[in-house]
Amino acid sequence: MPAILQPTPESIVQCAERLRRGLSVAFPTETVYGLGCDSSSEAAVSEVYAMKSRPQSNPLIAHVLNVAMAKKAVVGWDVRAQRLAEAFWPGPLAIVLPRRAEICALSVGGRMSVAVRMPAHPVALALLEAFGKPISAPSANRSGRLSPTSAVHVAEEFAEFADLPILEGGPCEIGLESTVLDLSRARPMILRPGAITQKDLEPIIGAVVAPEIGQQSASPGTSALHYAPKTHAELVDEKNLASRLADLPERVAVVAFAGTIVPAPHELFAMPRHASAYAQMLYATLRRADGAGAASIIIVPPSDRGGLWDAAHDRIKRATARRVG
């Protein structure tokens, strides 16, 4: 089982040295925990892809300490990028621009662009400062599975990697992955929805294209099936829940708002009704439901839309992609 390390100055330095040797480190951010490596090293990036069983066509986000480090990673840092950084960094916004050679091609699936982000977590920033270079990091989980929002989740995902250090950072504040915004095209486009929304972005840089929820692509975490539990999962609207449960003789784990009526032998895994709390708890609750020994999982999607709700809808739609329709 990997070691969970308290983020002392000594452990931060040790993890930075590990990155310099081309090895990986798990670390917290405000969104989810990441599995980090040296963005400039194809060997290090290859190890991360292998650990996750992640397709090498799926690009990684390069995490940076500040705007100065971002400018060394990308070409064309313009007034729009600067305004976005001033408004939302550190925070859950990844900005896509053409990459410099410092970011190896393998880390971006051979693309000419890279998404860069300054995380809003003191442990992540301390690691970036100690390392002194961008850290490419997808979520610290097996490819396609539920993202980790605690150090324990990471340890469970990579139980056989005893030498993987995991920096403890507590529960993730936001709990869903960052917004990915492509500035490399004529009109900015959201490639992945997150806590920073179209309404947040447009007052800063003007019109932004936002594709339909679940239709984004060419970005980390936007394959059709993603963020999925191991247990069979499906989406069922609240009005159809009772009839669907009546059709299922075996125990079902139901992820729905607190107060939803779920008859025995089925079990309710209650979710809060506030968007930020819902987002923060989504992956952890799905993990509990996944480990409950139920025959299947039903997710009752919120009726709410807009803002962080859209990011939550994107994740649960992808988590149940095999079962929708």
Q: Tell me the per-residue pLDDT of 85-108, one tens digit each, with 9 for 90 and over.
A: 999 999 999 999 999 999 999 999
Neighbours of 56 (CB within 10 A): 14
259's torsion region: left (phi>0), alpha (psi -120 to 50) or beta?
Answer: left
- For position 214, what pLDDT does the model report? 56
Phi, psi for 206 (deg, rounded to 5): 90, -160
Q: Do domains 3-205 and 233-319 have the same CATH topology?
A: no
Using the predicted structure, report yes or no on whether residue 325 has a pLDDT greater than 50: no
Using the predicted structure, report yes or no on whether residue 225 has a pLDDT greater than 80: no
Distance between alpha carbon 115 and the CA centroid of its chain, in Å? Answer: 13
* Sign of the C-alpha dihedral computed for residues 236, 241, 243 and 249 taken in this order: positive
Which of the four pLDDT bands, split at 50, 70 and 90, describes residue 219?
A: low
Work out the average pLDDT over 122-127: 98
Helix 308-319 with 275-290: angle, nearest 10 deg = 20
Q: Number of helices (H) and strands (E) in the chain: give both, helices first.
A: 10, 14
Sketch the domain layout of the chain as residue ranges: 3-205, 233-319
CB 221 within 8 A of CB 96: no
Which of the four pLDDT bands, split at 50, 70 and 90, describes residue 213?
A: low
**Per-residue pLDDT tens over the stretch 229-255:** 999 999 999 999 999 999 999 999 999
CB 246 within 8 A of CB 264: no
CATH code, residues 3-205: 3.90.870.10
Q: Tokens representing 304? A: 């709410």
- For position 186, what pLDDT does the model report? 87
The Cα-based distances of 4 to 150, 163, 165, 174, 252 in angstroms read 10, 10, 6, 21, 33
DSSP conformation class of 71: H
Give the integer Cα–Cα distance in Å for 16 and 182: 29
Which of the four pLDDT bands, split at 50, 70 and 90, describes residue 323?
A: very low
Work out the average pLDDT over 133-138: 98
Using the predicted structure, report yes or no on whether residue 84 has a pLDDT greater than 80: yes
Q: Tokens representing 230? A: 């191991």
Using the predicted structure, report yes or no on whether residue 322 has a pLDDT greater than 70: no
Please provide the average confidence, as pLDDT, over all residues in the chain. 94
Closest to 268 measured CA to CA, from 246, 294, 247: 294
Using the predicted structure, report yes or no on whether residue 259 has a pLDDT greater than 70: yes
CB 208 within 8 A of CB 198: yes
> CATH fold of 233-319, please?
Rossmann fold (3.40.50)
H or E element at residue 288: helix 275-290
Give the integer Cα–Cα distance in Å for 300 and 289: 13
Work out the average pLDDT over 293-314: 95
Using the predicted structure, report yes or no on whether residue 39 has a pLDDT greater than 80: yes
- For position 211, what pLDDT does the model report? 83
Strands 233-235 and 296-299: parallel
Closest to 306 measured CA to CA, from 206, 210, 216, 183: 210
Helix, coil or strand: residue 112: coil
**Per-residue pLDDT tens over the stretch 4-35:** 999 999 999 999 999 999 999 999 999 999 99
Work out the average pLDDT over 152-175: 98
Give the integer Cα–Cα distance in Å for 286 and 230: 10
Q: List the 296-299 sheet strands across, edge first.
A: 233-235, 296-299, 252-257, 267-271
Work out the average pLDDT over 179-204: 96
Helix, coil or strand: residue 311: helix
